[in-house]
Amino acid sequence: MKGKLYIVSVPIGNAKDITLRAIEVLKSVDLVVCEELKEGRRLLNNLDIATPLDTLNEHNEDSRTSVFVEFLKNGKNLALISDAGTPLFEDPGRRFVARAVEEGIEVKPVPGPSSLMAALVVSGFDFNRFYYYGLLPRKKEDRRNVLKILRPFRHPIVFLDTPYRLVQVLHDIKRVFGPGRWIAVACNLTTDKEFIFRGTVKEAYNHFKEKEKVRCEFVIVVDRKRK
């Protein structure tokens, strides 16, 4: 009998956000696969869980996928986690999950924290329909070209990026979408430093430019409305 692959959501900032089911699964599986051993060990140690750890990341996904699929085919259960939040959103593992599905392995979600949903629910926008774009291109020219394509969208758009590019991204959104577009920037969600900025793109750019040296994990939600 083949094993099961569990996709387990873990906290995005506040350690108390782990679910009871996630703890149960992480204790019961034969192996937990994480992005980085340091983060994986910290999580399991905080939960007093002794399950063995292995890694799957952008550097080894191609080689490790076959190893983990064989592990599952031999009847072992495995949990896939990310460094924070729900796995597979801008995280490695999609090829692995796709291969597991192709091999007829049962893949089970263990829902929980998600920075995407957390940002949407505090944005104040109508997000019955929204578009998740995720990470914008690193190069300014490519980033602006993508934003030009997205500009006519009629529903909120969600962007992610690295902490040090927040001001650059806001500058390009202001340039392409216009300064009056409504925006919410959710920073350091669920932590003691959580901060939600709501206003126009111009106001957001001016606010964060003044604090450019301040780094935060962020999610941007751009609404269709204008001031």
Read off the pLDDT of residues 152-195 as tens digits, 9 standing for 90 and up: 999 999 999 999 999 999 999 999 999 999 999 999 999 999 99
DSSP state for residue 216 in the 8-state scheme: -
Residues sharing a CB contact under 8 Å with residue 23, sequence separation 6 or more, in sequence order: 47, 49
Mind listing the pLDDT tens digit for each residue in 71-120?
999 999 999 999 999 999 888 999 999 999 999 999 999 999 999 999 99
Strands 181-187 and 4-8: unpaired
- Alpha-carbon distances, residue 109 vs 4, 81, 86 (angstroms): 11, 11, 10
Q: Where are the domains of the chain?
A: 4-110, 115-226
CATH (residue range 115-226): 3.30.950.10
What is the separation, in whole angstroms, between the first and last Cα of the chain? 59
CA distances in angstroms from 114 to 3, 42, 80, 120, listed in the order given: 26, 19, 15, 10
- Best CATH choice for the domain 4-110 from the list 1.10.1200.10, 2.60.40.1250, 3.40.1010.10, 3.40.50.10470: 3.40.1010.10
